[in-house]
Amino acid sequence: MPVIQEEIQHPPKLRCTNDFVFKTLLTYFPALGQKFLKNISEELMKTHFEALSLSPTEKLSPSSSGKDVRLDISVQTIPMRLINYEMQGYASEMNICNRSAYYAAMLLTQPANKGAAYSELVPVSQVFFLDFPFPPKADQPDKAIHVYQLQEKDEHDVLTNLITIYIIELKKIIQMNHSYQELDGFEKWCWFFEKYDEEISDPIVAEIIQRNDIFKEVVEVMKVISSDPAIRNAAFAHERDLRDKAQIKYDGIQEGIQEGIQLNQLQNAQAMLKDHVPDELILKYIGIRSDQLNSLKAQIASSLIQESEASYDISSPDSPAVNTTEGTEPDESQ
């Protein structure tokens, strides 16, 4: 069944893990968005902010040939801190560590820091919500919230708190908690982002909404978003685009792996031919086709002929003889 026809018969659900929906939820009504983001920021960073305001996001590029970055949800707090929130789905799995560092560096160049003295630079926090697994640490396999700063390699003392990167694994938070009572304030947001659907089918999401007034407001915003056909269409189109890009990337990786396997097979078969291994054993254990084996034989035969010809230095009959007798002087009397 074609994808478009399938989506008409079975309309996909709006999920907060769709980064377009995530951004729309937190910016559609600016006053409510600021309230939500203030609560998220305080619960994550365990810090009270007197105020928080949404900053206009802009497309940043460090140079004419540099990689463009658009900060999705950028906020400024009092006390002064710049925070950027990003939802990262499956299409963004590759190079998440480099992405987070790059985004944080771009956040540091926001107008609030331009021209400021080094002692007056505003600290920045880059927050990534991941809808996919992050490589676990061997000694902390269940850790779901990772916080990074610039530290000394051996002693781990912090060089500066100017840049902080938060990487949050939504799925791991779900795996580690099994009831509403186990969730802290920030984990409630993570659970909501990961498990919310329009039917509120998850019982813990239902309990989060029932017991917390701020989540009742979040749901009301989601209802408004869901009832807007333009937003729904844009969200689904964005999801399809990300899915297609991920599939193209996956197909390219698989094609490269297959080419590497085939090259290795041919190299092994060629070595076995040179060692005079019977054809039937090569075909059985290497797994190449008969035509590929015949092609390898022809290549080896051609190579042997070229080597044989190169090993003989046959002088042309028309070339002058070269006198190589040592100590012979020309006879001047002739």
Q: Looking at the predicted structure, is the pLDDT value of residue 232 above 70? A: yes
**Same domain assignment for residues 132 and 73:** yes
Answer yes or no: is 237 within a domain. Answer: no
**Same domain assignment for residues 200 and 264:** no
**Same domain assignment for residues 134 and 280:** no
Out of 50-59, 120-129, 240-249, 298-307, the most confident range is 120-129
Residue 286's pLDDT band (boundaries 50, 70, 90)?
Answer: confident
Answer yes or no: is 51 within a domain. Answer: yes
**Same domain assignment for residues 135 and 210:** yes
Q: Looking at the predicted structure, is the pLDDT value of residue 325 above 60? A: no
Give 149-189 pLDDT, tens digit per residue.
999 999 989 999 999 999 999 999 999 988 999 999 999 99
Answer yes or no: is 316 within a domain. Answer: no
Residue with tokens 């377009």: 20
**Same domain assignment for residues 206 and 283:** no
- Please report the pLDDT score of residue 96 as a whole number: 87
**Same domain assignment for residues 204 and 269:** no
Q: In the chain, where does DSSP find H-type helix? A: 3-9, 19-27, 30-45, 96-108, 170-176, 185-195, 203-211, 213-226, 229-274, 279-286, 290-310
Share of the chain above pLDDT 70, in %: 75
Beta strands at 124-130 and 81-88: parallel, antiparallel or unpaired: parallel
Answer yes or no: is 67 within a domain. Answer: yes
**Same domain assignment for residues 54 and 201:** yes
56 prior amide bond cis, ω within 30: no
**Same domain assignment for residues 215 and 275:** no
**Same domain assignment for residues 40 and 179:** yes
Answer yes or no: is 296 within a domain. Answer: yes
Domain assignment of residue 258, given as a range: 251-307
Alpha-carbon gap, residue 216 to 225, rounded angstroms = 14
Question: What's the CA dihedral at 176, 185, 137, 164 to 10 degrees?
Answer: 170
**Same domain assignment for residues 145 and 288:** no
Distance of CA 163 to the CA centre of its chain: 21
Domain boundary residue, one of 192, 227, 262: 227
Residue 230's pLDDT band (boundaries 50, 70, 90)?
Answer: confident
**Same domain assignment for residues 36 and 147:** yes
Answer yes or no: is 331 within a domain. Answer: no
- Please report the pLDDT score of residue 207 as a whole number: 97
Answer yes or no: is 172 within a domain. Answer: yes
Answer yes or no: is 233 within a domain. Answer: no
Alpha-carbon gap, residue 242 to 150, rounded angstroms = 32
- Average pLDDT on 277-305 reads 80
* Amino acid letter, residue 72: D
**Same domain assignment for residues 290 and 221:** no
- Please report the pLDDT score of residue 178 as a whole number: 87
The total of structural domains in the chain comes to: 2
- Average pLDDT on 12-31 reads 89
What one-character DSSP code corresponds to residue 118? G
Domain boundary residue, one of 227, 261, 277: 227
Give 241-267 pLDDT, tens digit per residue.
655 554 454 455 455 656 666 777 778
- Average pLDDT on 217-242 reads 84
